[in-house]
Amino acid sequence: VIENYQKIISNIKNKSKNSEIIIQTILPVNENNIKSINKNIVEINKKLKEIAKQENLLFIELHDLYLDK
């Protein structure tokens, strides 16, 4: 997943230099259906945040807003 994000970002930067790239976190899923996927989502979101910082991109954190309280 992360490798694909990096390829997409690179392609956008190369082909559309004036575009603003915004990365948004992956939202949580209902754990009743899939037990382990939210752990993977959290890890991917951490890596996406790192990529956004390295590439100087806007990063939008929505994951935490959608967690069951």
N residues, the chain: 69
Task: Tell me the sheet residues that pair with 59.
Answer: 23
* Under 8 Å between Cβ of 1 and 40: no
Task: Tell me the sheet residues that pair with 22.
Answer: 58
Q: What is the pLDDT of residues 12-45, one digit of tens each?
A: 999 999 999 999 999 998 866 676 788 899 999 9
How much helix, strand and coil, in percent to the nearest 5, is found in the chain?
Answer: 55, 10, 40
pTM over 0.75: yes
